Amino acid sequence: MVLKQLELFRYKQFKHACFTFQPGFNVIWGPNESGKTTLREALLLAFFGNPTTTSDSVRSATTWGQTEPCEVRLEYLDDAGVLCQLRKDFAGNKIFLLRGEEQFRTYKTIQSQVLETLGLPSEDLFRLCASLDVRSLANLGSRESRKQTGQMLAGLMTGASSGQDALTAIKRLEDALRLLGKGERAPAKDPGPLKAAREQLLRWQARQAEMAGKQRDRQDRETRWASATLELNALRERTDNLNRLLAANEKLSQADRRRQELILRDAEYEKADQRRRQWQEELERLDRKIEAESAARCPAAGIEELKNLLARKAAAPSGVEPALPADRSAWILLASGAILALAGSWLIWQGGAWAGWLLVLAGLGTTAAGWAKKRNQHAQTRRRQTQTEEAQTERAAQESRIKALCEPAGALPPEALLQSWERLLALRAEREALARSLAAMGRTDPEPWQAVRRELRLVEDVLADPELNPLRLAPAELAARQREREAAVERLKTLETETERWRVLQEQDARLEEGLAEAEEQAEEIRRRIAYLERRERVLKTTLELLDQARRDTLHPARQVLEKQAGELWSQLSEGRYKNIAIDDEDLSSKIFIPETSKWEGPEVLSQGAFDQFFLSLRLALTDALSGGRKPPLFLDEPLSAFDPERERAALDYLRSLSASRQILFFSCRPEYAEAAEHVVQLPSPDGKKGKETRQ
């Protein structure tokens, strides 16, 4: 979830206020009583408030001096990146959620959507994990929230609720062992019987050893003290030399890595420049080929006209109509008519008038039909001659136009001209695609390339430094020097502790030996008591180990992950001083490993700063463990007030790195935190000056 904007109406001192937030590290700062806590509670009210009720939390959100309840509007992005708009009107008892195009209007449905986005199933768990302030940093919530958290952790560990019976039995055994060994790991006002007996034995043994060996060991202690002092001084000098050597190698290693990066970037710039030159040369080659094509001198309209003319020419007839077949039917009719007329005339002359006249009439009709047919043949012949002349004229015009259209290409044949035009179109398309690619690449900016080469020369100067280069070590030798330094540092700490203890012992006055026999008798009696208690402790431990091992065989390592994550974070915040954390999965009780005493203690033995660091680490780890990777936004209200400058800087560095994957709202009255922020919201001061928002 990423919060975008919170708008308040009639909320405490804010009659109408609008606050915007950005992803990453947001700092909300202002003087005391400017409304930082009010703003954080307003965000919680937007998440969990129910406008259909009249609870105290709703009544307390009313603007000071007013009776009308408030209205809250929140915009945020869910895990899918969808913009959500949540509105809660406590005056009108209305609630509304717009998620993309979806709308929700019931409190139960909307609350399930909000809790699913947060990844935490209740307000108590959100306050426990993701809403932290310095006053309640060590408060792990109400009994119900701790119980719910323990159940969630147990569920993550066992994968089912059947492990609760085993946990109950283990808890009882642990209570018995804790009562028996009370005070063994952490100081207790009323230590258990085993601790009390051992303390008595230690006191008598110390008294006996003091009386018996004090004089005998003094001289040996002095000799060892002197030897340890010499070794301590030599180790300090050696450690300083190793630190300088390793620092020089670290600088050289960083320069090597940077040189490789710069070489790769330089190669990328050079490759891009070479590709651009190749494409420009290819454009020039295409331009020459386009210019060499004959069709380039012809307009596109002329080419289209030429295509149409050739198509019409191919579809048109040859222009010479075939001759009509010889038709002698007209002459036959004329001859037949003449013969019939002569025959009729002859019959009339012979006296057959009636038959003669019929033959004469038939001859005249046949002759008339012959003359009509003859005229029709002459008409068809003249029409065919006219069509042939027109076709020849049109064909000649087409040939002339085709020749004119081919003239710009050097009188190239039409078919060759069309082939040249097709090649020209292909070349132009290829050139246009290449030109688009070249335009998309953009112009070469030489300044970044030159900057890379300048930095590369500087890095190479560092690598060639005559003071640093002789100090370069091979990887195996470098690892050996690092191990040597770690061993020297550990040995240095041990010697410093021993020499300090010996110095204190040397300053103490010698005491006279007294009551040695009584001390031995008392010590023996206490040993028998301890032996009995230790046998009982072994029986309980064996039973606990067997039962716990049976349970562990079915567990998932959720608690181990939680302990590891909290331990790593605390190690970072404490600059490596503390690393190991043990967390109970039922009530969240925890213990820490104290390196100085090599014992597990409760967090109450820490200083206030380390105490706050421990619980900040624990609650941030709980956020990841219980939210299922949802990464809800973190509300941090002055959590670093008890940190010293070094650990405060380490904590800020961690929060900055954490803000890369989740949103953090850091509330503070100290403006210097704004320097570490990506987005700053300045709240109005109590005197009425308005706040402002800045981006860094």
Structure confidence by residue, pLDDT tens digits, 276-312: 888 888 888 888 888 887 777 778 887 787 778 777 7
Q: Which amino acid appears at position 241 of this protein?
A: N
The alpha carbon torsion through 638, 641, 645, 649 (nearest 10 deg) reads: -20
The phi-psi region of residue 517 (left if phi > 0; otherwise alpha if psi is between -120 and 50; otherwise beta) is alpha
pLDDT for res 59? 60
Distance CA 594, CA 614 (A): 13
CB 183 within 8 A of CB 592: no
DSSP-derived secondary structure for 664-692: EEEEES-GGGGGG-SEEEEPPPTTS----
Contact 340, 366 (CB under 8 A): yes
Is residue 104 left, alpha or beta, with left meaning phi > 0 and alpha meaning psi from -120 to 50?
A: beta
pLDDT tens digits, one per residue of 230-269: 888 888 888 888 888 888 888 888 888 888 998 998 888 8
Round to whole Å and give the CA distance between 635 and 287: 65
Collapse the DSSP code of 558 into the 3-class scheme (helix H, G, I; strand E, B; otherwise coil) and give the result.
helix
Place of tokens 């029409």: 383
* β partners of residue 583: 590
Residue 600's DSSP bridge partners are 593
What span, in angstroms and rounded, lies between the C-alpha atoms of 372 and 191?
Answer: 152
Q: Is the pLDDT of residue 362 over 90?
A: no
More reliable by pLDDT, 496 or 161: 496
Token output for 161: 């609720």
Rounded CA-CA distance 545/162 in Å is 19
| Among 25-34, 361-370, 401-410, the least confident range | 401-410
Tell me which of 61 and 471 has the higher pLDDT: 471
pLDDT at 3: 94
Residue 73: strand pairing partners: 7, 87
Alpha carbons 144 and 152: distance in angstroms, whole number: 12
Q: Position of tokens 């006209």?
A: 305
CA 451 to chain centre: 30
Q: Is 693 or 64 the better-scoring residue by pLDDT?
A: 64
Q: What share of the chain is helix, strand, coil (3-state, %, to 5)?
A: 65, 10, 25
Pick the most confident of 97-106, 453-462, 636-645.
Answer: 97-106
Do the Cβ atoms of 617 and 589 come closer than 8 Å? no
Cα 581 from Cα 622, distance rounded (Å): 13
pTM metric for this prediction: 0.44
Quote the tokens at residue 400: 């002339």
Q: Alpha-carbon distance 71 to 86, whole Å?
A: 11
**H-helix or E-strand spanning residue 440:** helix 414-441
Q: Which among 682, 685, 647 has a CA at the least distance from the CA of 696?
A: 682
Strand (E) or helix (H) holding 170: helix 163-180
Count of residues for the chain?
Answer: 696
Distance CA 569, CA 587 (A): 21
Query: pLDDT for 166-211, tens place per residue?
Result: 556 667 777 777 787 787 777 777 888 888 887 888 887 887 777 6
SS3 10: strand
User: Is the pLDDT at 161 greater than 50, yes or no?
Assistant: no
